[in-house]
Every structure is written in C-alpha cells, then in structure tokens.
A and B are shown apart, each in its own frame.
Chain A
Amino acid sequence: MSTTEYQIEREIVIDAPIEVVWRTITEPDQISLWFADKVDLEIAPGATGYMGFGHQGGPVLVETVEPPTRFSFRWNHPAGERPAAGNSLLVEFTLVGEGERTRLRVAERGLEPLPWPDADKHRYAEEHNEGWGKFLDRLVGLVGDDK
C-alpha cells in the first residue's frame, strides 16, 4: 500500500553533537525558534499540546520520544479536529550521531492504514498500483532535488 503514502523527506548535517541537536528540536522554547511561534507542549509520548502560527494554530500530539534519536508528533490542518491516525500528518525526526556532527532527517507523511478489510485493500492495490503512485512520483521529482 506504499503507493498511496504522501511523504516529504529532508535531511541536513549539523556541526554539533547529537545531544545538542536533540535539545534544539525537543525543548519547547527552542521549538518556538524554528517552528511555531507559540509552543505549549510536554515532550512525552501521548501528550497533547498546542502550536500556534501567527493567528492560526492547532493541537499537536506527541507520538515518539526516544532521546536522542527519535522524536515524532502529529499535527493537522483541518480545524476543530484532534490529531489522530487517519486525519493528520506525522512529522518524524531521526538523529544519527557522526562523531561531533549529527545527521538530522525529517519526514512528514500521512501513513494512515485504511479501515478496509485486507482483501479489499489487496484488490485495490492490485488494480490501482499506478495512478496516485505516478502522481506522487511527480511530486517527489519536484520536491526531491530543489536544494
């Protein structure tokens, strides 16, 4: 079913040890410097918080906190809904220490499984393994090389 996933993946190498990068991406006062203007968030799995962007904002759900290598949260754009699998996008940070440097990867994806019986999913996947996949390939081509 991977042909139907939406995904953006970016990566950067930082001249700082992994613990420093971890603090930068997980401490609320730091998050407010690179992401949202307003961050009201507890960094614990399952914690819900709020991130504000100017006059907009919405709830955020922390999913994974594995210091200092993995941090993920869900956020969503539809107003008035709580983020959960099925209505939101998952932002996942992965940190890899390389001596004094850190490789930081971010993936933003919608990877919600469909609430369909497996047989239907398989049938659908077999019948439609091109359309959206091709569309996504086009997107990936556009977003993948614009550094």
Chain B
Amino acid sequence: MTTEPDDNLWAAIADPSRRRVLDLLVQRGEASASRLAGQVPFTRQAVSKHLLVLEQAGLIGHRKEGREVLYRIDADRLDQATRALADVARQWDRRLGTIKRLAEAAHAEATRATRKRRT
C-alpha cells in the first residue's frame, strides 16, 4: 500500500497512545520528548516513536533549542488534517447516497415484479 498523507493520518490517530501525546501537545503548546514522557505512563522511547509518526502524518513539527528538540502542533497542517477528516465524512455521505440509490432501485424493481405477477 502506498503511504499517502491520509493513510499516515489514520495510522497516527488510530492509536490511543499517540492521541495522548497529541492531546498533551495541544494542551502544552510546546514540549520535549522527555517532558512529555513525564506525563504519560509509557517510556521516553515510546514517546519518541509516537512523535515521529505524528510528525510524518504532518500533525506536529519540531525545532531545536540548544541540545533540546521541542515539538509543537503545526496549526496549518492540523487544519489540513481536520479537512482530511471532513473529507472522510463526505466520503461516507457519498457511500450512503449510493446505498440509498441501490436499495431504492432494488425495492422498486421488486415492487414492479410483484405487480406484474398480480395482473
């Protein structure tokens, strides 16, 4: 499977631990991996891994300050992600619309067949 931005996004938010990390960043603004690790019940290594995935999904960015790497929510890209989720909702609307057409056509067909048999 190719890794399109949307796939990365889904993978990033489908994991509850990553949602925790994202949650913390939304709340704190900016933080290092060690600082974040102090707030969650998993290791610093795990936090670093989650940060990498979140960054690949475009939800966060980082900058270096001295020896520290500070992570923060990328507002523009978060907006993009938000729109991507809105697209998913629209996709479901389209699918439901298709289901409606199919079911109504099948029903109309069955009704016509029944009438034909009666006459």
Whether the Cβ atoms of A139 and B10 lie closer than 8 Å is no
A109-127: CB near B (< 8 Å → 1, else 0) gives 0101110110010001001
Asked if A130 meets B27 with Cβ closer than 8 Å, knowing A16-B103, A33-B102, A114-B17, the reply is: yes
A93-107: CB near B (< 8 Å → 1, else 0) gives 000000000101010
| A-side interface mostly | mixed
Query: Which residue of the partner chain, among B7, B86, B96, B107, contacts A20 with CB atoms under 8 Å?
Result: B107
Residues from chain B with a CB closer than 8 A to the CB of A76 are: 10-11, 14
| B-side interface mostly | helix
Residues from chain B with a CB closer than 8 A to the CB of A134 are: 26
Decide if B52 is an interface residue (CB 8 Å cutoff).
no
Report the nearest A residue to B7, measured CB to CB.
A77
Query: Which residue of the partner chain, among A77, A113, A128, contacts B14 with CB atoms under 8 Å?
Result: A77
B11-25: CB near A (< 8 Å → 1, else 0) gives 101111101101110
Query: Which residue of the partner chain, among B2, B11, B40, B41, contacts A78 with CB atoms under 8 Å?
Result: B11
Q: Which of B24, B40, B95, B97 has the largest count of A CB atoms less than 10 A from its CB?
A: B95
A residues near B, CB below 8 A?
4, 6, 8, 10-12, 14-17, 20-21, 23-25, 30, 33-35, 55-58, 76-79, 86-89, 102, 104, 106, 108, 110, 112-114, 116-117, 120, 124, 127-128, 130-132, 134-135, 138-139, 142-144, 146-147
Show 17 A/B contacts (Cβ-Cβ < 8 Å), sorted by A: A6-B13, A12-B96, A15-B100, A16-B104, A16-B106, A24-B99, A24-B102, A33-B98, A34-B102, A77-B1, A106-B92, A108-B92, A130-B27, A139-B85, A146-B86, A146-B90, A147-B93
